[in-house]
Amino acid sequence: MILQRATVVLCLLLVVGCEPAGAVEGPATALPKPLADVAPGASGELQTAVFAGGCFWGVQAVFQHVKGVHSAISGYAGGTKKNPSYEAVSSGATGHAESVEVKFNPAQVSYGTLLTVFFSVVHDPTQLNRQGPDHGTQYRSAIFTTSADQRRVAEAYIAQLDAGKVFKAPIVTKVSTLEAFYPAEDYHQDYATVHPNNPYIVINDAPKVVNLQEQFADLYSGQPVLTHAQGGAS
């Protein structure tokens, strides 16, 4: 729950001081670009990618600031329960992971570039079933692919990063075919934008957006793309 997340962060602050509890453990070296990528497809046609990397507030916030992203919606994927609620997913019993559906224009940003952002600043892909203060399979690192090409590129990139020992530990990110994506409740959408002073956002998610700006300056968009829930374009 939202209050529980804030409480966890405040407790961590009392214990460990001001070190960001959810800061991403960066790679040992700058991430290389994927050796393979997905073809752009028809001109002007949007593609869909789905990523899971901990609490969806931060994942959504990062992708909302990437040029070429048409929409980024928080939701649930990877489980068996249809139309799950946040409470059900949070129990860990549904098999779903907090995820973000990203619709993007491949003429502006490729799937491979989104993968690079995902592994660089969105989360730590070496952490199993957790990110920062959040624990459980609902916070696992996962990529849900929407085409055979996406799966091929994602799996090849993970192998490429592991072979190059870019991270200090092996990547645990699971790649699987997307069966269904269920948008989360409206109050979860654009959460980092609507609640920038929430302690959880300040400590865990704002630094990710800053890292995006610093590491991918040419991709960074200062004006986030908001969901329909907040009256933005999607």
Tell me the HSE value of 214 on the side-chain side, using a 13 A CA sphere.
9
Q: Which of 8, 31, 38, 55 is catalytic?
A: 55
Q: Which tokens is 150 given?
A: 């996406």
Contact 163, 62 (CB under 8 A): no
- Tell me whether residue 55 is one of the annotated catalytic residues: yes
- Torsion region of 224: left, alpha or beta (phi above 0 gives left; psi -120 to 50 gives alpha): beta
Catalytic residues: 55
